[in-house]
Amino acid sequence: MIKNNFFKDKKVLVAGGTGLIGMQLCDKLIKLGANVTVASLDDYKSKKNLKFVKADLRSFENCLQLTKNKNIVFNLAGVKGSPKMTLEKPASFFVPTLMFSINLMEAARRNKIENYLFTSSIGVYSPKSKFLEDDVWKTFPSENDKYAGWAKRICELQSEVYEIQYNWKNISVVRPANVYGPYDNFDINNAMVIPSLINKALNAKKTLKVWGDGKNIRDFIFSSDVADGMLLSVKNKINYPINLGSGKKNTIKEVVNIINDNLPGNKLLIEWDKSKPSGDRIRLMDIKKAKKIGFNPKITLKDGIKLTMDWFLNSKQYRRYNSFTEKN
């Protein structure tokens, strides 16, 4: 929790602010007294203390205009899709991710932004029992996250070279784990594991088919907890990458059971399809560095999934822009 008024009256741009992390971040910034502008390709209406601009960040001119007269920029802009979709349509992920970051960071530099945050990903890591921030450049990203991982790594390097050449020290980089929550992409064909399973379960009749054996371990973190970590990183002017995860091991089977327990009707029969790929066996983050700046995830997996399911049941009309399915 941010206890002082660091963000009060600051002019803040949240790029990609209509997604599952961005919506939580904007609400928190507004409560802290910031003047928030959101830029996104989603359809969204402005509300009190928040200005919405529908803008394509692949345009450098758009980025220059959006960052003008701002104090802080949070770059959450990205392409949301499952590992399967990023492997099938890698250009639709890789190219926009690079363009968003290159354009926005350069525009922010030219407009002399005080603080800048780039949202990286757990995808930068190579398969290992626990992910440590300093281990990234000793290995390569997992083949299951090849294009996403390299795109995010290149964007992290951009922040590093800007510090070296331009002496811009207030660039924060956060690496969220497997994030879930309201306002996510719930498209069964290209969503991440939790939103995909929630949608499938709520639309299943008697049986829920799940890829793998359910034993894979993941580090799941609720979106509002990630937003807290972002605020702490900027407030403390952290200029090195930090992991934002729960630091706890949870299996896919546990996720499925929690979803099943929270269904409005009868429980489903779970059918595990072991012939299908299920990704890396374990992906767990070390969060010691984040804890040193006050990061303390509050939402348990059980509570977070219930909150997400309740939101989804009441907000099915909410639709996210998706570069994998939209015609550009």
Range of the domain at 35: 11-183+220-247+282-298
State the pLDDT confidence band at 171, using cuts at 50, 70 and 90: very high
Task: Tell me whether residue 261 is in a domain.
Answer: no
Q: Which tens digit of pLDDT belongs to each residue from 18-40?
A: 999 999 999 999 999 999 999 99
Q: Tell me what pLDDT residue 207 has.
A: 94
Q: What is the pTM of this model?
A: 0.92
| Beta partners for residue 207, in sequence order | 269
Task: Tell me whether residue 17 is in a domain.
Answer: yes
Task: Tell me whether residue 73 is in a domain.
Answer: yes
Calculate what percentage of the chain has a pLDDT beyond 70.
92
Q: Which tens digit of pLDDT belongs to each residue from 115-159?
A: 999 999 998 998 887 899 999 998 888 887 788 889 999 999 999
Q: How many residues are present in the chain?
A: 328
Task: Tell me whether residue 123 is in a domain.
Answer: yes
Count the domains in the chain. 1
Q: In what order do the strands lie in the sheet with 217-218?
A: 250-251, 217-218, 282-283
Task: Please compute, for residue 3, the number of CA atoms within 13 A of its CA located in the half-sphere on the CB side.
Answer: 3
Is 82 a residue whose pLDDT tops 50? yes
Q: Tell me what pLDDT residue 317 has.
A: 57
Q: Which tens digit of pLDDT belongs to each residue from 38-58?
A: 999 888 776 777 999 999 999
Report the Cα 51 to chain-centroid distance in Å: 21
Task: Tell me whether residue 148 is in a domain.
Answer: yes
3-state secondary structure of 174: strand
State the pLDDT confidence band at 324, using cuts at 50, 70 and 90: very low
| CATH code of the domain in which 154 resides | 3.40.50.720
State the pLDDT confidence band at 189, using cuts at 50, 70 and 90: confident
What mean pLDDT value characterizes the chain? 90
DSSP track, 13-61: EEETTTSHHHHHHHHHHHHTT-EEEEEESS----BTTEEEEE--TT-HH
With vertex at residue 217, the alpha carbon angle to CA 177 and CA 79, rounded to the nearest 5 degrees, is 35
Q: Is 306 exposed, middle or buried (0-12, 13-18, 19+ CB in 10 A)?
A: middle
* Contacts for 83 with CB less than 8 Å, ≥ 6 apart: 144, 145, 148, 279
CB 37 within 8 A of CB 104: no
Calculate what percentage of the chain has a pLDDT beyond 90.
72
Is 193 a residue whose pLDDT tops 50? yes
Task: Give me 250's structure tokens.
Answer: 């949870």
The whole-angstrom separation of Cα 187 and Cα 67 is 31
Name the residue with higher pLDDT: 138 or 316. Answer: 138
Is 321 a residue whose pLDDT tops 60? no
Task: Tell me whether residue 232 is in a domain.
Answer: yes
Q: Which tens digit of pLDDT belongs to each residue from 274-301?
A: 887 777 788 899 999 999 999 999 999 9
Is 84 a residue whose pLDDT tops 90? no
Task: Tell me whether residue 207 is in a domain.
Answer: no
The whole-angstrom separation of Cα 268 and Cα 141 is 36
Task: Tell me whether residue 2 is in a domain.
Answer: no
State the pLDDT confidence band at 254, using cuts at 50, 70 and 90: very high
Nearest to 218 by CA among 256, 264, 269: 256
Q: Tell me what pLDDT residue 139 has.
A: 87
State the pLDDT confidence band at 4, using cuts at 50, 70 and 90: low
Q: Tell me what pLDDT residue 83 has.
A: 64
Task: Give me 12's structure tokens.
Answer: 């803040």
The whole-angstrom separation of Cα 75 and Cα 172 is 10
Q: Tell me what pLDDT residue 46 has.
A: 67
The whole-angstrom separation of Cα 65 and Cα 251 is 44
